[in-house]
Chain A
Amino acid sequence: MGATISLDYITHRFSRGAAPTLEKIENRIEPGEMVALIGRSGCGKSTLLHMLAGLLIPSEGCVRVNGHQVSRPSAKWNMMFQKASLYPWMSVRENAALGLLFSGMAKTEAFSRVDELLEMLGLHDKRDVNVQSLSGGQQQRVALARSLATDPEILLLDEPFSALDAFTRTALQEEVPAICRDLDITMVIVTHDIDEAIAMADRVMIMSQNPGRIVGELDVELPWPRRHMDAGFQSLRDQLMTQFKDTDDGLAGRKAITETTDDDAENAA
């Protein structure tokens, strides 16, 4: 079941007395909603996502899931990163089943559950191979299976497709929202890519930099699957660009943003 996420007045400083990285972030994400978070590099998107995952605790305010304050990571809200970060000493199946094994489930049961997911993601013939022999897209699918195996209420994605080729990326941009709708998972995706945001989300939030704030929002009411060439898509794209320009003088920097992959916040936890 999807969960409600509320961001209660979150302010964060990485060190005491420093300028806030995030300031007074307030929002509410409904069960099953899919939200994209866009903003310039370094504005604090990853930091905010780590807080949703319980991997980082805000210095002021809090994240609540279904009303309960998030204070530690949990397999109920899973995060996927730009790198798949699979464990090379485990098979595809073991990687995907890891969360279930951590929860104490017997191996046979965990594997049979995971096999369904691998089947759905087109990996069933790869389940016993070494993960190092998979392509980047296949690895990211295994990471997706790993995140879905524990039956999460929330899926958090931090630029998960930016290292993939265009074909694989487009395919996953379609598949992931479909899976989330199917399984009724609340999804938050951080991205640099405005098209990806529109392709995957019900709502796009725009973040400003220094300090990071949510400065704009746009509802995406397009039918699935979304086609980049559709008139509706194009007009949303224009609206988003305009909002981005209004709220952040960084439109000129957008091209540069898309290139950045560096991510300090990933080491924060």
Chain B
Amino acid sequence: MVRAEGRATPENKNGNENEYIAEFRDVTFVYNKGVTYETKAVDSVNLKIRRGLITGIIGATGSGKSTLIQMLNGLIKPDSGEVLIDSENILSKDVKLKKIRFKVGLVMQYPEYQLFDETVESDIAFGPRNMGLSEEEIKRRVESGARFAGLDFSLLKKSPFDLSGGQKRRAAIAGVMAMEPELLVLDEPAAGLDPAARREILGKIRDYRKERGTSVVMVSHSMEDMARYCDRIVVMNQGRVCMDDTPPKVFGSSEELFSAGLDVPGITKVAYELQKLGIDIGRDIYTVKYAADMLCEKYGLKASAENF
């Protein structure tokens, strides 16, 4: 795709400022400040989001993931600290938040409850229309959004209220993808879906990233999903970032994950047990495919685990 040209890709890591699309600098946020039920949802977070990668944010329920990502487009304003998009403080007076919101596309948790328009098509067009694009461009974007989100074109003329749960979710994601943001942020995009729909939606997000070179931030508490789809993983625990590393490193440090109220992927546990039994394929196993490859390698087998 033409638009992806000139964007930094994962291969093109040139240690300059351009390497990061977003940055949190010592960000703190407290809900209900000054009232009895004060909650420190985000606590002095320093974090850099790499351009062109899929960054996963994991953490137990209530660890502040949703709060953190809503700061990326200024929906929540930090009590202290700075949020930078493309090295630009989004809260400074001369930055228009609306522009930031087109640059940072946010899909909130359970987005299917935000559909409102008469047809799926016009609902997807809501974002692009707010951007003030031409009708042709809007049409192009609705179609590309629907295609990227895996939404069948025959559904575009239907009412969003007539779709199934999974289709609604896709329509909502398409609505944000159609804005063609530089940074796509998704809050638990696969929560509450069946495994097939889960895999498909997450696969679509990965394809979208591959084709458009968009940077992606994705929240989930499914270790398996994160292991499979993310290039970087950020672990949150009680409002703080306690790890920010590659999947093997993160899933290799099980003690820290456990203390953050999390778990390791099922296959990692299998690797631990194998290790106990004397079959050592390392502890940084986090996908079934990798585990199978390592086992094959260990026993000199050729069969590759293409099916995983």
Our verdict on whether A and B bind, yes or no, reads no
Q: Using CB atoms and an 8 Å cutoff, list the residues of chain B in contact with chain A.
A: none
Q: Which residues of A contact B (CB under 8 A)?
A: none
